[in-house]
Amino acid sequence: MSWKDYFYFTKSQRVGLWALIIAIAGIMIADVCLHHINKQTAITIQDTAFINKAARFKASLKENKPHFYEKNYTDKYSYPSENSEPQAAPQLFAFNPNLLDSSGFVKLGLKPFIAHNILKYRSKGGRFKKKADFAKIYALSPAQFATLEPYINIPTDNKTNVTEIKAKSIELNSTDSTQLKQIKGMPGWLAKRVITYRKKLGGYASVNQLAEVWDMPPELFQKIKPLFIIDISKINKIQVNEATIDGLKKLPYTNYYQAKEIYEYRKKKGKIKAIEELKSIDEELINTTYLEKIKPYLAF
């Protein structure tokens, strides 16, 4: 018997076999189609049921707690309509880009990071001498510049308007931010930083320390420097012979290792009577420049 005999079918058998194959293929195709249709229907039914449930909850909330609804309810599942209320328009006003603070730039419609770029440019001594200079700020688009250009007001003498030097001077360790803001050219945010840095130091020992205030424009510092005097009796001094390491670390310009060296030296040598004694400590940590800086802040 040949192997072909095993695959021989009569005509009726062949017809039945093809009919079976077609039926199986039809069932498979129908199963795929029905599964897709059922899935779409299930999703539609599920979405409809959820939306109806959310609508009922929203209606009950509005009916039972109208005050809460008005102040706190937000429909997170609705799409914004064409009549959605637009964002608040920028507040346009005349401004000098050499003096305006960051909040002012944001009110004009600029992003906070662009305002930061402007202040950073100014802190490095940058100046806007004409309107076109403002267009060069990084990330400021041509459209934004075109909107703001009519409102840019830069004095024709290209100088920052600061208070004229007067016989009366400001005592830096007793003044407050309100008085500092009265100085022309001193923005409110910078006046607050001057006071904050004074607290960190324990008081100013030199007018030159104003240059260390974060974002103090060098040009502005040079202009206002003659306005101030210093009363060193108002400095909060640290008792060297009583302070812990943490207490010594509060000294201006002092890190943990320097505070630890001074503390260990005091434990070893006993009471310190003068700052000159500290010169015998490791010069890499306690050098002459450092000692001159902390001298006004030490009490023996």
Q: Do domains 170-234 and 238-299 have the same CATH topology?
A: yes
Question: Over 50: is that where the pLDDT of 55 sits?
Answer: yes
Question: Over 60: is that where the pLDDT of 39 sits?
Answer: no
Res. 88 pLDDT band, cuts 50 70 90: low
* pLDDT score at 236: 93
* pLDDT score at 102: 82
In tens, the pLDDT along 165-204 reads 343 478 999 999 888 988 888 999 999 999 999 999 999 9
* pLDDT score at 155: 80
* pLDDT score at 41: 54
What is the arithmetic mean of pLDDT over 94-108? 86
* pLDDT score at 76: 45
What is the arithmetic mean of pLDDT over 194-215? 94
In tens, the pLDDT along 58-86 reads 676 656 555 544 445 444 444 444 444 45
Q: Pick the residue with more confidence: 245 or 16?
A: 245
* pLDDT score at 184: 83
How far is it, in rounded angstroms, from Cα 266 to Cα 239? 12
List residues bridging with 95 in a β-sheet: 152
* pLDDT score at 79: 43
Token digits of residue 104: 């002012």
Residue ranges in the chain assigned as alpha helix (H): 11-64, 66-72, 102-107, 112-123, 131-134, 142-148, 177-181, 188-201, 218-224, 245-249, 256-269, 288-294
Q: What angle do CA 257, 260, 264 make, to 5 degrees?
A: 140
* pLDDT score at 77: 43
Contact yes or no for 92/151 (Cβ under 8 A):
yes
CATH architecture of 238-299: Orthogonal Bundle (1.10)
Domains in the chain: boundaries? 13-53, 102-151, 170-234, 238-299
What is the arithmetic mean of pLDDT over 127-154? 90
CATH architecture of 170-234: Orthogonal Bundle (1.10)
Residue recorded with tokens 């005349």: 94
Over the chain, what is the mean pLDDT?
80
Q: How far is CA 237 from CA 201, 248, 262, in A?
A: 10, 10, 16
Question: Over 80: is that where the pLDDT of 20 sits?
Answer: yes
